[in-house]
Amino acid sequence: MVRRANFYNQNRDPDANWLTLDVGNFVDRGSRGKCTPKCDLMLRAYRVMGYDVLGLGQMELAMGADTLAEIMDTLGIPLVCANVVDVRTRKAIAKPYYIRRYGNMVIGITGLIYSELGRYSKVDTTQFQILPYLDVAQTLIPRLARKVDAVILLCDFRNKELDTLLQVAPEVDLIITNGTLRPASKVTRSGNTLLVATSSSGYNGTALTLEFNPAWGDSLGFDFVSISLTDEYHVENVISPLIASWKAESSPPKKTSPKPAKARPISPKPALPGKGALSAEAAPSTDSKK
């Protein structure tokens, strides 16, 4: 996170309007049923770095409905997901979309989760229902597109799912996915839609600068930066104290070996008379001279 913050500081254009996003699946695998100290660290870091919108992934759902609701109430950053509902209330667990305004430019951000749960999924289906993403996209995205100048979709899809989705919802201008795309280039284009695949590693930085021009119609100009965050990015910044505090709290207490007891001198007890015990000094010599 320290390196990511430095990457953003170096690559942000001061003359541009910035939108900082995370697709989802940002909490650790141990966060099932709770927000672990590492999960809390990630959320605090996102606040400090000024993230605008976070998507939801299956790892966030694994924390459970109550924990997720508490996070959304206190985080201060919108979380978007359009196709997951609470089984108990039948209501969406997060905002279906979020609209960000930059002067006369209006951007809509939405999120979708893949409907089919894998065998290793930790999502509790007694709490959450993931609705078919194609049905939701076909209804939501055209409606959102009429309200904004550009639609951004955060998701975990791969090529097959994206191709199918764009057939029913071609109005999406930019898709950011943490699914694997083929070919493995970082930016591809499908019709008028830009596709960006993020890396699952925290040691990569990705920044996309988009340029909107009404004369281009539905087309977007862009400049893309994606690099490995090497040691040169590990410079102290506002995230450093958070990391240090988390490490101190999460480190197990050091085991200390007990100090050995001090040796005590033993004083020989005097021999009792008549018991045949003699001290070395008192033993008579058996080599007498005549």
* Arithmetic mean of pLDDT, 193-207: 75
Confidence of residue 224 (pLDDT cuts 50, 70, 90): confident
Among the listed residues 120, 115, 118, 64, the one whose alpha carbon sits nearest the alpha carbon of residue 93 = 64
pLDDT at 1: 87
pLDDT at 280: 33
Task: Report d(CA 271, CA 268) in Å as an integer.
Answer: 9
Q: Is the pLDDT of residue 290 over 60?
A: no
Confidence of residue 274 (pLDDT cuts 50, 70, 90): very low
pLDDT at 202: 64
Asked if residues 31 and 59 have their Cβ atoms less than 8 Å apart, the reply is yes
Among the listed residues 72, 80, 76, 23, the one whose alpha carbon sits nearest the alpha carbon of residue 50 = 76
Task: Report d(CA 75, CA 2) in Å as an integer.
Answer: 20
Other Cβ atoms less than 10 A from the Cβ of 68: the count is 22
82 versus 218: the higher-pLDDT residue is 82
Tell me which residue has tokens 């994606």: 226
Asked if residues 176 and 21 have their Cβ atoms less than 8 Å apart, the reply is yes
pLDDT 10s digits, 54-85: 999 888 998 889 999 999 999 999 999 999 99
pLDDT at 281: 33
* Arithmetic mean of pLDDT, 28-55: 86
Q: Which amino acid is at 94?
A: A
Secondary structure of 162-207 as H, E, C letters: HHHHHHHCCCCCEEEECCCCCCCCCEEEECCEEEEECCCCCCEEEE
pLDDT at 131: 94
Percent of the chain exceeding pLDDT 90 equals 34
Confidence of residue 212 (pLDDT cuts 50, 70, 90): low
* Arithmetic mean of pLDDT, 170-195: 81
Which of 4-13, 17-26, 88-97, 272-281 shows the highest mean pLDDT?
88-97
279 versus 176: the higher-pLDDT residue is 176
pLDDT 10s digits, 92-132: 999 999 999 987 789 999 999 987 776 557 788 899 999 99
In the chain, the largest separation of any two C-alpha atoms, in whole Å, equals 136
Q: Is the pLDDT of residue 287 over 50?
A: no
190 versus 239: the higher-pLDDT residue is 239
Confidence of residue 285 (pLDDT cuts 50, 70, 90): very low
Domains and CATH numbers, the chain: 2-244 (3.60.21.10)
Task: Report d(CA 45, CA 61) in Å as an integer.
Answer: 20
β-bridge partners, 224: 208
Q: Is the pLDDT of residue 2 over 80?
A: yes
> pLDDT averaged over the chain?
80
DSSP the chain: -HHHHHHHHHH--TTS----EE-S--S-TT-TTS--HHHHHHHHHHHHHT--EEE--HHHHTT-HHHHHHHHHHS-S-EE-SSEEETTT-SBSSBSEEEEEETTEEEEEEE---SSPPTT----TTTEEE--HHHHHHHHHHHHHTTSSEEEEEE---HHHHHHHHHH-TT-SEEEESS--SS--SEEEETTEEEEEPPSSTTEEEEEEEE--GGGTT--EEEEEEEE--GGG----TTHHHHHHHHHHHSPPPP-PPPPPPP-PPPPPPPPTTS----GGGPPPS----
Other Cβ atoms less than 10 A from the Cβ of 111: the count is 29
Q: Is the pLDDT of residue 201 over 70?
A: no
pLDDT 10s digits, 138-178: 999 999 999 998 999 999 898 889 999 999 999 999 999 88
